[in-house]
Amino acid sequence: MAKKRRSYKISSGDYNVAGGGGTTAAATSAGGFVKIAKGHPNNTNPDHDGFINPSSTVNVMIDVNASIPTKDQYFYIDNAFESATGNVTVEYIAPTTALPSGISWAENSDSQDTDQGEARFYGTPSAGTEGTYTMKVKVDYPYGRTDEQTEFTYVLEVVPAGTTPVFPSDLPDKIIRNTTGEQTILAATTTTYADAKYTLSNVSGFNSAVTPTIDENTGRVYLNNVGDITAAATPHSLTITVDLGPYGTQSKSYTRDIGYGDPYGARYFGPNNANFNATGHNDFSSTQAATDAACNPLKSSGALRRVHNANEDTSPYLHNDGYGCEWGSNYALNYTTQSYYDDYSGYGKFGYMGFTAENTNWWCSGSNYREQKFRWTVPAGVTSFCAVAVGGGAGGAYTWAADAGGAGGLAWMNGISCSPGDVYYIYVGLGRESQSQVSSYGAGSSFIVNPSGQTVIFAEGGGYTGYQTSNPNGQRTWYDHTPNGLNVWDKGGGYGGNDSRDGGGYAVNSSLGSSVNGFHYGGGAAYYAGGSRVGMGAAGYRGNQDRAGSSDRGVKGGGACGYNYSSTYGQGGGGGVGLDGQGWRGVDGSSSRPRIDTNAGSGYGGSSGSWTSYNNSSANFYGGGGGGSGGTRGAWGENQFTGREERSHGNRGRVGGTHGGGGGGSGTSYGGGNGAPGGVRIIWGVGEDGTPRSFPYTYCSEKPSMKYNGES
């Protein structure tokens, strides 16, 4: 904003003042310009792109059919002590006679004491406008003094589509020790310019035995044969420059604190980190880039971050740990803000986990057995990993006094051998949408397929299975894969009716990995208790759920059943289960940390308790089953007249909790709910004391210092 006319001392290097006197007469005005701000006047704003010296040149390259970025659109110009309105104009420099089609110019005069001058080039250049356009932006005030004038040159180069290079996002936070061959630290830069050449400069901070190398044809940056180096994280820097021939050069500099040591990483596939709303089968597995664009690779947690009601906190994380996911405020965010983004930054590690109150589908399908397909490429230095999967939950029926849906099973396995660069295919089961009555409806299953086409782990979706035996091998083809090689399995409690009330089982190919102390690789969901009409809780980490019915608690680290809330307004959905390992509180277990007893992390059953203000918890509100091990609770059984109904489809509420909770059943007037989506999470590496990560509870979380889930 323009300043009042007065003596003013400028000490910051962000300003360029010519004159700066304090007289008041127009004829002797000594003005002086604040240095021109690019993108945004506030240097703490993300769009701020530095200050421009008067008489300097700004070069902007933009592809046809691509909008000029904000940081290259706006220029803010402010006379330090003006007492009159200025003029902001643009002059075309030969051979330029006009702006390219699709690009516009706008200006805002720097009004006396109350305003800030603005020059803006904006829009999207049309195809066929390729070329160089040169303009001079001029600012002057009515006193005719040279210190009341400034100008800069704006050169806009419009290039063919895809020419502007897309650089990788960031360096890794760890360089993996004892690796042979190449370890990529920055993926390739992309451009449509065929003869691009890449160079590396300004390299600093790397261990003397480690030398970054750049592929001059792709821009990929890698290390060769990293030895036995262990070091705490320190600042590392480098700059990539791409030579685009006739289009000049573009550069990007990187700085990050990087350590050296054993790997510690995770990858999560599920609704918490997706940029799309899944309503049917989607295949994002064609390339790793396609998967990463759809499912944020920087969000590796699939459990709640914290809970306000500590007594019902089943999360692996401690209260205020700062890891994991959060519920969205009032459960009302759409899937793009709720899942892919978060309240800190677009690619942070937090994100939200759970359904949206008013969304019809939200990772739920009106067709049976739908999955989302992704791929996972094994990172450098990783030769073994652990994995957990939870199937989707089935929907409850919404006609008069109808039953709820079954929940998904949970499968995990450790010590799965792999090689860097191997490609695994990841399938995440969708929940099943509520239907008018219980019948042969089923949710999608979640599973992993190795490079040889073998099924590694298999978590069955709730609902109708179609299986003739307990073993899922070959019994049904899910999209493009028929389960095979599974030799340890359990159907769980089940229902036995081959309909949407059935709970999902689990299965693993034990020859590909290992269990822990004889634990059973996961568990199946509970059987349906006739007449209760409440959603079933998702299975746990330590074996089959053995409870079902109104308000029954979860066991073995799994979600809990909903509560028979209202004969009119319907019943609560079942609780889901988190994917960051078995939690530490919950029910039916000791209160010590670490919680390594069987029922640690088990969800509390639904209740008809009073309304509370806990908007970030897995607590039980009006019948919603509590989430297990950091899963979200099921939707409660309230009604639309209170303003507290969670709807999934018109009057159909009572959605199951993430991951895998079964949708609640209906009362006499309202009810029925969608099943919750499933998920898959992969972890690798060792903890701080050198112990390998393993399910169900050892170094499973995102907190590297927490050996057993729940300890400080």
CA distance 700 to 583: 10
Q: Give residue 347's pLDDT.
A: 36
Residue 690: other Cβ atoms inside 10 A: 7
Q: Is the dihedral of CA 456, 303, 679, 420 positive or negative?
A: negative
**What is the reported pLDDT for 307?**
59
Q: How confident is the model at residue 29 (pLDDT cuts 50, 70, 90)?
A: very low
Say if residue 361's pLDDT is above 70: no
Query: Rounded to the nearest 5°, which phi and psi values hold at 457?
Result: -135, 155
Alpha helices in 332-426 (DSSP H): 335
Asked which of 142-151, 372-381, 470-479, 564-573 is least confident by mean pLDDT, the reply is 142-151
Q: Is the pLDDT of residue 70 over 50?
A: yes
Radius of gyration of the chain (CA): 30
The answer to which of 97-111, 390-404, 589-603, 673-687 has the lowest mean pLDDT is 589-603
The secondary element (H helix, E strand) that includes residue 458 is strand 455-459
pLDDT > 70? residue 494: no
Q: Which of 9-13, 26-30, 125-129, 593-597 has the highest mean pLDDT?
A: 125-129
The per-residue pLDDT for 668 is: 82
Amino acid letter, 282? N
Q: Are strands 149-159 and 131-140 parallel, antiparallel or unpaired?
A: antiparallel
594: amino acid identity, one letter: P
- Within 13 Å, how many C-alpha atoms sit on residue 483's CB side? 27
**The pair of three-digit structure tokens given for residue 97, joined into one six-digit string:** 């006679």
Q: What is the pLDDT of residue 606?
A: 83
CB 528 within 8 A of CB 546: no
Confidence of residue 324 (pLDDT cuts 50, 70, 90): confident
Q: What is the mean pLDDT of residues 651-671?
A: 81
pLDDT over 90 percentage in the chain: 43
- The 3-state DSSP class for residue 261 equals strand
The residues with which 235 forms a beta bridge, in sequence order, are 257
| pLDDT in the model for residue 302 | 92
> Over the chain, what is the mean pLDDT?
82
pLDDT for 329 beyond 60: no
Q: What SS3 class is residue 211? A: coil
Residue 616: is its pLDDT beyond 70? no
Greater confidence, 126 or 305? 126
Q: List pLDDT tens digits, range 105-144.
A: 999 988 877 778 899 999 999 999 999 999 999 988 777 6
pLDDT tens digit string along 626-660?
889 999 888 766 655 555 555 445 555 678 889 99
Can you tell me the mean pLDDT for 379-406?
A: 91
pLDDT, average across residues 479-506:
86
